[in-house]
């Protein structure tokens, strides 16, 4: 199988980028777990209080007051649940988890392939790079938008004026992949 030094160098850069994005999305996943707890725990508590008031307050208060209290507590849980759905916390949490897993898997695949002597590798350098690149851009496209700057290891040409953030590189990479595949 044929491998060039430039392919190995670029794969090494993609590996670094994948590791950075893995850490970014892992932190983002933890953030969405935290945010989800901030909604789920109050919803559970208010729902439990609502159930208790519906049953136990009938002996102490008139039914119309118990009904009003139940309506207010139900509205509160409904509002909290609606806000959680509007913010798409569960969807974002799942996307962050999937992205972090995929980026880590890509980094490990690259590391494994580059650790083998080039003459003993099972795939051709050009083929392997194309597969990794396609999965990288797809994962970047499918993940949550990046909310902060991530270091860019994927400068396309060292002499060229290249963007400094992964967001701008992602746009260039997606454009390049569309041109290479003939989807332009």
Taking only the tens place, the pLDDT of each residue in 112-168 is 999 999 888 989 999 999 999 999 999 999 999 988 888 888 875 555 444 455 666
How far CA 122 is from CA of 5, 104, 119, 172, in Å, comes to 17, 21, 9, 30
φ and ψ at 156, to 5 degrees?
Answer: -75, -35
Query: Would you state the structure tokens that stand for residue 5, as one six-digit string?
Result: 């030094």
Q: What is the pLDDT of residue 183?
A: 37
What residue numbers bound the domain in which 103 lies?
A: 5-181
**CB contact at 8 A, 137 and 103:** no
Number of domains in the chain: 1
64 pLDDT higher than 70: yes
Q: What is the pLDDT of residue 148?
A: 83
53-62 mean pLDDT: 84
Q: Kindly provide the b/e burial profile for residues 110-124, where b requires at least 16 CB atoms within 10 angstroms of the residue's own CB.
A: beebbeeeeeebeee
* pTM exceeds 0.85 for this model: no
């Amino acid at each position: 199988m044929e491998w060039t030094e430039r392919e190995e160098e670029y794969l090494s850069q993609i590996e670094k980028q994948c590791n950075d994005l893995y850490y970014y999305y892992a932190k983002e996943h933890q953030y969405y777990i935290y945010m989800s707890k901030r909604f789920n725990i109050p919803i559970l508590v208010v729902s439990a209080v609502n159930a208790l008031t519906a049953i136990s307050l009938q002996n102490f208060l008139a039914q119309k007051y118990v009904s009003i209290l139940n309506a207010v507590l139900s509205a509160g849980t409904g509002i909290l649940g609606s806000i959680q759905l509007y913010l798409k916390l569960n969807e974002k949490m799942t996307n962050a988890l999937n992205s972090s897993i995929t980026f880590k898997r890509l980094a490990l695949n690259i590391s494994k392939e580059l650790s083998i002597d080039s003459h003993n590798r099972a795939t051709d350098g050009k083929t392997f790079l194309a597969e990794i690149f396609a999965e990288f851009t797809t994962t970047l496209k499918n993940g949550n938008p990046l909310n902060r700057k991530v270091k860019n290891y994927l400068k396309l040409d060292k002499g060229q004026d290249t963007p400094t953030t992964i967001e701008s590189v992602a746009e260039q990479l997606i454009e390049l992949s569309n041109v290479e595949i003939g989807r332009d």
